[in-house]
Amino acid sequence: MPAVRFLRFLPLLILTLSFPTLCSPQSDADILVKFKQSVTHGNFSSWIPGPGVSPCRKKWVGVRCRGEDIVGLHLSDLHLSGTLDVHVLLQLRYLRSISLMRNSLTGPIPEFNKLGALKSLYLSHNQLRGEIPSEYFAPMRSLKKVWLNDNKFTGHIPESVMQLPRLSELHLEGNHFSGSIPPLKFPTVLTSLNLSLNHLEGRIPESLAKFGVGSFQGNEGLCGKPMANSCIKEAPPPVASTPSPSGRAKSNYNGRPMLVATTVFFLLCIVIAFLFSAIRRTKKDDGSGGKSREPVRDKMLPVQLPPESIHRRSVEKNRRSKSGSRRDSKSSVTKGGMADMVILNGEKGEFGMQDLMKASAEVLENGVLGFAYKATMVNGLTVVVKRLRGMNRLGKDEFAAEMRRFAALKHRNVLAPLAYHFRKEEKLIVSEYMPNGSLSYVLHGTRDVAHANLNWPTRFKIIKGIVRGLGCIHTEFGTCEVPHGNLKSSNVLLTENYEPLLSDYAYQTMANSKNVAQALFAYKSPEYLQYQQLSPKSDVYCLGIVILEIMTGKCPSQYQSNGQGRINIVQWVQTSISENRAQELIDPEIANNASSTDKMLKVLEIGAACVESNPDKRLHLNEVVTRIEEVS
Ligand SMILES: *[C@@H]1O[C@H](CO)[C@@H](O)[C@H](O)[C@H]1NC(C)=O
Ligand SMILES: *[C@@H]1O[C@H](CO)[C@@H](O)[C@H](O)[C@H]1NC(C)=O
C-alpha cells in the first residue's frame, strides 16, 4: 500500500525536483519581451531589451511599477492583436493589474485566470468572443475590478464572477450575454455595475436592485426591481434557478450558501426552542403563583432572545413587565449574591441581570462550549455574554476563584472578564465587546473594509500582541497542563486599533472531560492526536497555526474536523520552505511591501518552527517571544 501511494506522488516529486533546472530565473525585461513577441501589431517602441535593463527604471511604455517591481501592465490603445502569452506573465510575482482596453484582441478570453493574484482586469473594447467558462474566475480570489464591456462575449454570465469576495466593479455591458443574472454573493462590496446592452432575461437578483435602471437597460427580457416591469408569474426565481439550467459545470457555489443557510436555520431552531421552553416556564410560574422558585430561574438570558434578535431587535418588553416588579425587588435583595451578576471589574460600569435582560441581543456563536451573544445595555455598554455548556468540573467557590484569577490578568493582550454568574445549571461569563470582531472574521470574513486595514504593520502588531498575551497566560497558568488550550484565530479579538486580545483561555480545568477534546484546539496538536499527550508546547503549536494564518491569509484546514476546502497550512508551509519558495507563502495582500520582505520571511520561519510536529523540536514559548521581539 505505501508503495502504491508513493508511486502516485512520484510524478509530482520528479516535477518539483526538476523545477529549478527547467526554468532558470529570467529578468523582468526578458519576460516582457517574451510577452511582447506573443502579440502582433503592438507599438512597443520603448521596449528595448538589453543586458541589465530594468523596465521599471527605463520607464517602458505601459509598465507600472512600485520600486523595481512590476505591478501593472497597462497596454491600452496599442492595436494589439494575436494570442497573448499569459503564461509567461506568471513569473511577474507582483503583477496585480492588467489593462488591454481598446485593442484588437480576438478569440476567446485569454487565460488571465492563471494569474491568481490579479486585482484588476480591463479588457474593454476588443473583439473577444465565445463563452466564458462558468468557473473561470474561481481562482482569482483577489479580483476587484472586472471590465469586459464592449466585446462579443456570448453565453451566460459566469457564476464565478458573481462570487468573488472583493468584487467592486463589474462591467459587462455591450456584449451578447444571455440567460439570467446569477446572484451576487458579496453585495455590499460591489459599487459599480453595468450589464446594459446584452440579451439577459429573468428576474434581477434582489442583491442588485440597488443599482439603477442604467445598469440593466437594453436587455429586453429583464424584469423586477429596478426595472419598471415586474415579473409576472415567472416560475423559478433566480436564486433557485442559478445552478445551471443548461447543464453548466456544477460549481463550488452550492457549498457555502447551503452552509450558511443551514447555520441560520440551526440557530433559529435553537432560539425557538429556548423561546418555547421560556413560554412553558412562564406558564408554570403563572400557574403556580407564589410557589417559591429560584428567582433567576426564569431569567435565563437566552430565553429572552426572540428569533428576530438575530436582526438586532430589542428584546420585547411586555413579557417582563408582567411580573417585572416582583423580580425587581427580589433581584435587588440578591444583588451581589450568587443569584445575580458578580462584578469582577467595574471600570466599564456595574450591571446586574436586569440590565442584561433589558439589553438588545444578537447571537454571535454557538459552539461545543456554549452559546455567545452580544448585548447592548441601556447605558450604552456593549458586552459579550457566554453561556457556558458542559463546564461543571468546578464547584461554586472554585469557579469564583478561577474567575478572580482571570480578572486579575491585567495585560493589554488578554481579555479579562467583567462579570460572571454562577449556578449549578447556568454559568455566564460577561466580557467587553470588541467592535472589530475576531481575527478570523477580519482575515477570512467578507468585510472588505476591515480586511483592507490588515496591512503588514498591522499584521505584525497582531502577531506580537498574541505572542505577548500568550506569554502572560503561560506565566499565570504555568502549572496547567496546557495553559491556554484553545488558541485559534476566532479566539483572538481585535480592538478598534487592531490590538489583539486573547479570549477563551484556561478552560481546560473547567470543562467536562467529555467535551474538552472536542472543543479545545490544543487537542488537535500532533502530540495529542498521536499519543494523547499535551503540554504547554501544544499552545505553541496553536500559536504557529495562527502566525502562519496571518502571514498567508489562508484559512487552515486544521480548524475543521473534515478540513474541506481549506489549506493544510502546516504541510504547505513546510514544503515551500524546504524548497526555498517561502516567499510565495506570503499573502499577496502584503507581499508588495518589498522593504519588509525580510521581516516577513523571519516571521514565517518562526511560525514554521512552532508547528514542528515533534514537540521536542518545537520552539519553547520563551524562544518565540524573544525571536518575535527581535524581528522588529
Ligand atoms: C508608436 O509609439 C510612438 C510613441 O509611443 C509613436 O511616436 C509612434 O508614432 C507610434 N507608431 C505607430 C505605428 O503607431
Ligand atoms: C452602462 O452602459 C451603457 C452603455 O455603454 C451606458 O449608456 C450607461 O450609461 C451605463 N450605465 C451606467 C450606470 O454606467
Rounded Cα distance between 439 and 559, Å, is 14
Q: What is the CATH number of domain 440-632?
A: 1.10.510.10
Alpha helices in 201-254 (DSSP H): 238-241
**Between the CA of residue 337 and those of 31, 298, 341, what are the distances in Å?**
74, 17, 8
Beta carbon of 18 within 6 Å of any ligand 1 atom: no
Q: How far is ligand 1, taken at its centre, from the CA of residue 65, in Å?
A: 22
pLDDT of 565 reads 56
The dihedral sign for the CA sequence 485, 487, 491, 493: positive
CB count within 10 Å of CB 253 equals 21
Model confidence, pTM: 0.49
Q: Which CATH architecture has domain 24-223?
A: Alpha-Beta Horseshoe (3.80)
Whether 24-223 and 295-311+338-433 share one fold: the answer is no
* Edge-to-edge strand list for the sheet holding 221-223: 178-179, 199-203, 221-223
Q: How far is ligand 1, taken at its centre, from the CA of residue 262, in Å?
A: 59
The model's confidence at residue 156, banded by pLDDT at 50, 70 and 90, is: very high
Ligand 2 site-directed mutation target among 196, 215, 222, 227, most atoms within 8 Å of CB:
196
The number of residues in the chain equals 632
- Is 609 in contact with 544 (CB distance < 8 Å)? yes
- Is 224 in contact with 200 (CB distance < 8 Å)? no
Helix (H, G, I), strand (E, B) or coil at 183: coil
- Ligand 2 binding pocket (C-beta < 6 A) is 173-174, 194, 196-197, 214-215
The model's confidence at residue 258, banded by pLDDT at 50, 70 and 90, is: very low
Query: Which residue's C-alpha comes closest to atom 10 of ligand 1?
Result: 43
Beta carbon of 453 within 6 Å of any ligand 1 atom: no
Report pLDDT digits (tens) over 379-412.
888 999 988 887 778 888 888 888 998 888 889 9
- Is 563 in contact with 557 (CB distance < 8 Å)? yes
More confident residue, 431 or 241: 431
Rounded Cα distance between 287 and 580, Å, is 74
Ligand 2 site-directed mutation target among 145, 172, 193, 194, most atoms within 8 Å of CB:
194
Residue 291 has pLDDT above 60, yes or no: no
Residue 348 has pLDDT above 90, yes or no: no
- Is 98 in contact with 109 (CB distance < 8 Å)? no
Ligand lying nearest the CA atom of residue 195: 2
What φ, ψ does residue 456 adopt, rounded to 5°? -60, -50
Rounded Cα distance between 131 and 152, Å, is 9
Question: Could you tell me where the beta strands, DSSP code E, fall in 32-87?
Answer: 39-40, 63-66, 69-74, 81-82
- Is 566 in contact with 556 (CB distance < 8 Å)? yes
Rounded Cα distance between 301 and 370, Å, is 13
Helix (H, G, I), strand (E, B) or coil at 215: helix
Q: Which residues contact 19 (CB under 8 A, 6 or more apart)?
A: none
Q: How high is the mean pLDDT of the chain?
A: 77
Give the domain 295-311+338-433 fold. Phosphorylase Kinase; domain 1 (3.30.200)
- Is 142 in contact with 164 (CB distance < 8 Å)? no
Please enumerate, as own/partner, the contacts of 324-331 that have beta carbons within 8 Å and a separation of 24 or more. Answer: 327/295, 327/299, 327/354, 328/354, 330/295, 331/295, 331/296
More confident residue, 543 or 189: 543
Per-domain residue ranges of the chain: 24-223, 295-311+338-433, 440-632
